[in-house]
Amino acid sequence: MAMIVIAVGAAFADHQNKIVSDQAVRADVLAKVNLIRAKLEGNINGNLQLVQGLVATVVTEPYMGQQRFASLASNLFGRGSQLKNIAGAPDLVISLMYPMDGNEKAIGLDYRKDERQRVAALRARDERELILAGPVDLRQGGQGFVGRIPVFVRSAGNTERFWGIISAVVDVQRLYKASGLLDADLGIDIALIGKDALGPGGEQFFGNERVAKSNPVTADVLLPSGSWRIAAIPKNGWPSTPDNAWFLRAMMAVAGALVVIPFLVTGRLIGERQRNYAELSRLSRRLELALEASAIGVWEHDLATNELTWDDRVNEIYGKPTGEGRGYLDWAGAIHPDDLAAAHADFDRALAGGGPYLSEYRIIRPDGEIRHVRSKAIIYRGANDTPKMIGAEWDVTADVLLNKDLVRAKQLSESKNAELESARARIEHIALHDSLTGLPNRRYLDQVLEDYAADARRAGLYAALLHIDLDRFKHINDTLGHAAGDAMLVHASTVLRSKVDGEGFVARIGGDEFIVLCVVDDDIEQLALLADRVISQMREPVYYQGHRCRFGVSVGIAVDNGKDVEAKHLLVNADIALYRAKSRGRNRYEFFTEAMQSEIVDTKRIADEILGGLERNEFIPFYQPQFDAKTLEIVGVEALARWRHPEKGILAPDVFLRIAEELNVVSIIDRNILEQSLLDLEGWTAANLHIPRVSVNVSARRLQDEELIKSLRELNIKKGTVSFELVESIFLDENDDFVTWNLEQIKELGIDVEIDDFGTGYASIVSLLKLQPRRLKIDRQLVIPIVKSPQRRQVVSSIIEIGKSLGIEVVAEGVETMEHAQTLKTLGCDILQGYAFGHALDADGLKAFVRSRRLRTAS
């Protein structure tokens, strides 16, 4: 029986020895793990907490550039920081970086295309919270833990939009080293599990895989978005038997019968336990020092007894003396009344869900100072399966105050942005509207035209554009002043608004031009009715300061044909139709047609050919001889412009003159004809052909040329050899002092002045007296009928008598028969010109004509 007792005692002692040894070893490992866990949490949270301040600044400055970003980020890299770099990725593409050196390869990285980082980046965006990922292989080299913080900014309309990601990269090796994972004398093997903060279910990313399979001591590292699991075992694995096991067994076997041996063995075990506890105390002290250095306090709450234990750092945060017991009321009583309900709610929510616990609230210290505290904890089962909560608290007052300053700065910025937006809207309205009429302007029309036509097409309708130009507006503006002109424009805009009646778009695109943009179906007659209403209303008189003003409008209409063409061509087509309306008498409307387009194309082609012809000297003079009515001797020639077209041959002015006037090149043609005529005149003289003078046509525009007299002097024109033919309807009775001066200078140069097409204009006797031309040329329309029409003959006779009475020679053109010549001679006409004597000839043809007449006369 005694042996049984001894054997049982020995077995019990051996078992107890193993339990104590295992507990001591596990306690030692746990103490080291807790120290490393605390350092990891402190380092990670500390680094990422710094970046939160930068995020708040980005929210207020969403368009900051690299320089501003680098300036802010550089303040976060202090001594002891494990931050490797901070990157800004607007729209998930990295474009902001600090530091830039060594990280250039990361610029331009699109998280959506990077398989290694895409999931974590999109998760941060979608969950709208900080996501810690890693370790990840960095594009710029090395590894890091990447904390990605989504940034949402306020846009117009006070709506939130996703700006992008702020990523903070914590250097893996520096974090491991700062947290003690790489200490050579650590004495334990550690594995970190939970890559990308996925906790125990994640991948292992540090340490040997055998650690997790060897019944390790574990602890959870709480991260901003998840956790890691630390697993640790002794360096050489768990001992299978205590070091003193065989010694104890031998002693018990040798002195099993002795009573004293059990007491000795017990004493030895007690001593061993005390040493283990001493070692545990040492490790606990190291943990305290680490927590002290990180300014984080630790507390424990027994959920069964409601007992609360604070360390010295928590007491310091709350302003409480150390060494005193704490209870729930100490904590609740210190919380600011306004935050108590929220703090309770956070606590109750953690209890209901089994943790973790996270809360932030204000406390009132005994001296009345208010501090902001952040608390984080987990729930675990202690001895006797008692539920407990252990956590950490740290003072975040400085961070909160900084955030408040940033919020105030953001609010101020938003207020200024609102003012700027209001000012921008006013400026944009001014930029898009005519200040006089309040109508949209040309710029506004350009913005809406394309969309207007597209909307009409989608609705199965057609966009139509009416281009409206005021007739006689310039006359009112010039005679009554600009104020009267402005009043007419305002009246016109009112009329157009009333006729469109809100169903169209009315704009003033410049000067006296307006646009009406509307939508029609297949029946375009409604556009004709609208144009008629506008024209009719515009005809009504407008009273301005006692004056009865009248003006009309010409309207060009173009309809979108539904083809895939740019809508801006509507304006071009309507302008073409407007030009046709004006050319047909004004105060009317015209629809754009394909025929008009063809005409414009032909006109453009001819215009290009005219300009090319001027460069190639294709415009030449043809000469029609003029004869003395009595002797039938040649007394001069009229130089007529002809175009020697390279493909179509000789072309008369009716083919090109209108287009040349539109191109403003008639004066150039006139000058070329004059210069060539002078050369031909010299050639005839050298050939002993007597051509007394040459008459050339001069346009009204050339008479207004300030350089005209200077260019004529340079030609050294011999007096009496050149006459300028001026169309009667262009200049007579016009009070243009400059034109009058030019004409006087022309006369002084010895150049005669002739009135062409006399009888078709509105010249008065006073005008003839004022101008004193050398000759009058009766228009062919009056000359041709004189043989059969006594009335026309009388008119011609009267013109001849007027010329005689004023000492002006009279030239008749259109003399087609010798009967015409005889009649005109009888009436007293001085000079005859027409087909009865000869057609227009080029210089060589005229030379041959003169020689043949000379031969006939001689024979």
Contact 554, 468 (CB under 8 A): yes
- By CB neighbour count within 10 A (0-12 exposed, 13-18 middle, 19+ buried), where does 607 fall? middle
- Residue 78, domain member (yes or no): yes
How far is it, in rounded angstroms, from Cα 415 to Cα 417? Answer: 5
CATH number for the domain that contains residue 349? 3.30.450.20
Residue 851 CB neighbour total at 10 angstroms: 13
- Structural domain boundaries, residue 213: 2-234
Contact 649, 704 (CB under 8 A): no
Peptide bond into 62 cis (omega under 30): no
One-letter amino acid for residue 678 of the chain:
L
pLDDT at 255: 56
- Residue 797, domain member (yes or no): no
- Residue 406, domain member (yes or no): no
DSSP state of 848: H
How far is it, in rounded angstroms, from Cα 40 to Cα 197? Answer: 13
Contact 798, 765 (CB under 8 A): no
Residues 584, 628 within the same domain: no
Among 395, 422, 442, residue at a domain's last position:
395
Chain Cα centroid distance, residue 450: 18
Burial pattern 761-779, b for ≥16 Cβ within 10 A else e, equals bebeeebbeebebbbbbbb
The structure tokens listed for 673 are 């004809």
Residue of 311, 469, 512, 830 marked active site: 512
Residues 222, 299 within the same domain: no
pLDDT at 304: 79
- Residue 176, domain member (yes or no): yes
- Residue 539, domain member (yes or no): yes
Q: Can you name the residues that pair with 747 across neighbouring β-strands?
A: none
Contact 834, 811 (CB under 8 A): no
CATH number for the domain that contains residue 11? 3.30.450.350
Residues 490, 536 within the same domain: yes
DSSP string, 522-568: S-THHHHHHHHHHHHHHHS-EEETTEEE--EEEEEEEE--SSSS-TT
One-letter amino acid for residue 621 of the chain:
P
Peptide bond into 440 cis (omega under 30): no
- Residue 666, domain member (yes or no): yes
CATH number for the domain that contains residue 651? 3.20.20.450
CATH number for the domain that contains residue 485? 3.30.70.270
Residues 452, 374 within the same domain: no
Segment (H or E) for 410: helix 397-432
Q: Could you list the mean pLDDT of each consecutive 10-residue stretch along the chain, which spans 859 residues?
A: 62 71 82 88 85 87 90 82 90 91 87 85 88 81 88 82 92 87 86 89 88 89 89 86 67 63 75 82 71 73 82 84 77 87 87 85 90 89 82 86 88 87 86 92 89 84 92 87 92 91 86 92 86 92 91 92 68 89 85 84 88 94 96 95 95 91 89 95 92 92 86 91 80 63 91 85 69 90 93 93 93 94 95 94 94 80
Scanning the structure block, which residue is given the tokens 């215009």? 607
Residues 135, 221 within the same domain: yes
pLDDT at 650: 94
How far is it, in rounded angstroms, from Cα 507 to Cα 434? Answer: 8
Chain Cα centroid distance, residue 631: 81
| Residue 521 annotated to the active site | no
Segment (H or E) for 483: helix 482-500
Residues 358, 485 within the same domain: no
Residues 581, 635 within the same domain: no
- Residue 660, domain member (yes or no): yes
Please count the structural domains in the chain: 4
Cα angle for residues 360, 362, 364 (degrees, 5° grid): 150
Residues 127, 206 within the same domain: yes
| Three-state SS annotation for 543-555 | EECCEEECCEEEE
Handedness of CA 655, 657, 660, 666 (dihedral sign): positive
pLDDT at 733: 45
Among 234, 258, 284, residue at a domain's last position:
234
How far is it, in rounded angstroms, from Cα 832 to Cα 813? Answer: 6
Residues 221, 302 within the same domain: no
Residues 309, 371 within the same domain: yes
How far is it, in rounded angstroms, from Cα 432 to Cα 429? Answer: 5
Residues 624, 757 within the same domain: yes
**Dihedrals φ, ψ of 449, to 5°?**
-60, -50
Residues 637, 685 within the same domain: yes
Among 234, 253, 279, residue at a domain's last position:
234
- Residue 608, domain member (yes or no): no
